[in-house]
Amino acid sequence: MVDLTQIMDDEVFMAFASYATIILSKMMLMSATTAFYRMTRKVFANPEDCVTFGKGENAKKYLRTDDRVERVRRAHLNDLENIVPFLGIGLLYSLSGPDLSTAILHFRLFVGARIYHTISYLTPLPQPNRALSFFIGYGVTLSMAYRLLKNKLYL
């Protein structure tokens, strides 16, 4: 029987696991941020959520949208759209035997860029802060995809 804990002795894989866990935890913070703004601003999407703030028609006025909440939701969706490819491609890239320092450079750039993307989106900072951080994360993922397909293409 194979000892799975050995997989985690691989330094590239351990680094990927750490950075992936950090960026996923950051993404999960977006849910908490949405919930925070929904509660403090009393902005809800479901009738059953605003029962505590009033009954009948009085409660229905809280079924609305809010710029702040929509902004967090857009940032969250953008995270999903970019972190899913990073997870999939990054995992396979980590298993394809890359150079340790190259791999860590990729992971650090991606995680840094996505954290800066969230800061740019939620503050909001003027463009091109957000656009730039988006493209750095995007480029890092494509660079890993390119190296993976160049070395290991099997169709």
Q: How far is the CB of 17 from a second copy (least distance, A)?
A: 4
Q: Which of positions 113-142 make contact with a second copy (CB under 8 A)?
A: 121, 124-127, 130, 134, 138, 141-142
Shortest reach from residue 123's CB to a second copy, in Å: 9
Q: Which of 49, 74, 76 is nearest to 60 (CA)?
A: 49
Asked whether position 40 contacts a second copy by CB under 8 A, the answer is: no
**39-48 own/partner pairs: CB under 8 Å, 24+ apart:** 41/66, 41/68, 41/69, 43/69
Q: Which of 41, 71, 112, 136 binds a second copy (CB under 8 A)?
A: 71
Report CA-CA distances (Å) from 153 to 13, 96, 109. 20, 11, 25
The SS3 of residue 97 is coil
Angle at 94 between CA 92 and CA 97, to 5 degrees: 110
Query: Does residue 21 interact with a second copy by CB under 8 A?
Result: yes
The residue within the footprint of a second copy, chosen from 40, 48, 56, 101 (CB under 8 A), is 48
- Contact call for residue 22 and a second copy (CB under 8 A): yes
Residue (of 81, 77, 69, 94) closest to 18 by Cα position:
94
| Binder among 36, 51, 61, 99 for a second copy (CB under 8 A) | 51
Site for a second copy in 87-116 (CB under 8 A): 87-89, 91-92, 94-97, 108
